């Protein structure tokens, strides 16, 4: 259900940023599909009762960023008949979210929502789910629970082909379930050297057991503050390569960035939006090569106006990806 809707029914929009082309790179084993041109899964689509509520949930809890929007627009009767939509459904709104380094997520909100509000049983034919990969499932679960997210079970562990994998299900504000899963050291089936390996969300960003020293973390804190407080874009650019990989992936509530040049531009934009604001350090910790860096941000009169956390993955001594989570914002 996309842009081949007649233009008069579609309100095309703010593609603020180009979605990064890392959607489904099979870096371990590329599978040759039978259908010509087929590459892999681009996105998962889900229906939500309230678009604003759903976007806020995926952004605030996971850092996912809305990128494109269609509608809301009215649907002609022929369209509803073709795509098996209730006759009294009037409008639909669509938003595509960048979901970390995995497939995108597309949200659909119909008005009025004529479908059943009751969640299907897991064994119903209409039931489905998707899973979000994390390199540290215990830390992710604890973080989300602290944010008020309800989990429907404890963390489970696999065996046999899924040995080494852990998973747990959480509940969205509208009652559906999402899975978190993790297997940073691989799955049991890989021990048999299969001809084809499953794609994983860690294909593009290495998750390993490298231990980061206290000296490295201190250097990271110092560089992070120097870089993000430096208002000289040219001088700042030379600092970026000291801390970040050339192909750095950066995600915050307004931007998706790939590479040092775009990151430098994003920092300039942030400084222009917040004249005189400075960063200050709260704390830093890590689990192997995954780092959590907590900070305050604000003017001299209120240096703790904003607070948040950067979740960084380090590869070969440099930050390969950085996700920004905002914990406190002014009203």
Domain ranges of the chain: 1-115, 127-204, 214-328
N-terminal to C-terminal alpha carbon distance within the chain: 37
Per-residue model confidence (pLDDT) at position 22: 31
Quote the pTM value.
0.54
Give the angle 78-92-124 at the CA atoms, nearest 5°.
Answer: 85
Asked whether the domain spanning 214-328 has the same topology as the one spanning 1-115, the reply is no
| CA distances in angstroms from 165 to 28, 158, 162, 196, 291, listed in the order given | 18, 5, 6, 18, 21
Which ranges of the chain have pLDDT less than 70? Answer: 1-34, 37-38, 114-115, 202-210
Convert the pLDDT of each residue in 44-57 to its tens digit.
Answer: 999 999 999 999 99
The position carrying tokens 């960035």 is: 257
CATH class of domain segment(s) 214-328: alpha beta
Give the angle 282-285-290 at the CA atoms, nearest 5°.
Answer: 125
Per-residue model confidence (pLDDT) at position 258: 84
| CA distances in angstroms from 307 to 282, 284, 295, listed in the order given | 9, 14, 6
Fold of 127-204: 2,3-Dihydroxybiphenyl 1,2-Dioxygenase; domain 1 (3.10.180)
Per-residue model confidence (pLDDT) at position 32: 53
Convert the pLDDT of each residue in 129-151 to its tens digit.
Answer: 889 988 889 999 999 999 999 99
Fold of 1-115: 2,3-Dihydroxybiphenyl 1,2-Dioxygenase; domain 1 (3.10.180)
The position carrying tokens 């009762």 is: 49
The radius of gyration of the chain from alpha carbons, rounded to an integer in Å, stands at 22
Other CB atoms within a 10 A radius of the CB of residue 181 amount to: 20
Question: Is beta strand 306-315 parallel, antiparallel or unpaired with respect to 318-328?
Answer: antiparallel
Best CA proximity match to 198, nearest among 40, 34, 36, 21:
40
Per-residue model confidence (pLDDT) at position 210: 65
Per-residue model confidence (pLDDT) at position 202: 55
Per-residue model confidence (pLDDT) at position 57: 94
Per-residue model confidence (pLDDT) at position 16: 26
Per-residue model confidence (pLDDT) at position 95: 94
CA-to-CA distance for 54 and 71, rounded, in angstroms?
A: 16
């Amino acid at each position: 259900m996309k842009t081949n809707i007649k233009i008069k029914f579609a309100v095309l929009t703010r593609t603020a940023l180009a979605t990064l082309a890392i959607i489904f790179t099979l870096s371990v084993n590329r599978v040759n599909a039978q259908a010509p041109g087929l590459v892999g899964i681009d996105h998962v689509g889900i229906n939500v009762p309230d678009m604003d509520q759903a976007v806020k949930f995926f952004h605030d809890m996971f850092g996912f960023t809305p990128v494109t929007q269609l509608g809301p627009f009215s649907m002609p009767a022929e369209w509803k008949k073709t795509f098996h939509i209730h006759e009294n459904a009037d409008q639909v709104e669509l938003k595509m979210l960048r979901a970390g380094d995995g497939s995108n997520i597309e949200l659909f909100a119909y008005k009025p929502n004529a479908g059943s509000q009751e969640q299907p049983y897991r064994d119903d034919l209409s039931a489905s789910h998707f899973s979000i990969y994390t390199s540290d499932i215990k830390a992710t679960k604890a973080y989300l629970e602290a944010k008020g997210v309800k989990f429907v079970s404890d963390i489970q562990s696999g065996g046999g082909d899924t040995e080494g994998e852990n998973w747990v299900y959480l509940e969205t504000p509208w009652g559906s379930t999402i899975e978190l899963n993790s297997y940073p050291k691989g799955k049991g089936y890989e021990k048999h050297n299969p001809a084809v390996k499953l794609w994983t969300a860690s294909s593009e960003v290495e998750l390993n057991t490298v231990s980061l020293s206290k000296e490295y973390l201190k250097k990271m804190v110092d560089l992070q503050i120097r870089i993000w407080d430096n208002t000289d874009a040219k001088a700042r650019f030379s600092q970026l390569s000291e801390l970040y990989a050339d192909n750095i992936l950066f995600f915050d509530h307004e931007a998706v960035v790939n590479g040092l040049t775009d990151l430098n531009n994003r920092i300039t934009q942030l400084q222009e939006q917040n004249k005189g604001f400075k960063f200050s350090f709260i704390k830093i910790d890590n689990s192997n090569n995954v780092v959590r860096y907590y900070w305050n941000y604000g003017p001299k009169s209120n240096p703790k106006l904003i607070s948040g956390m950067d979740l960084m993955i380090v590869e070969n001594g440099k930050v390969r990806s950085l996700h920004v989570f905002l914990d406190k914002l002014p009203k």
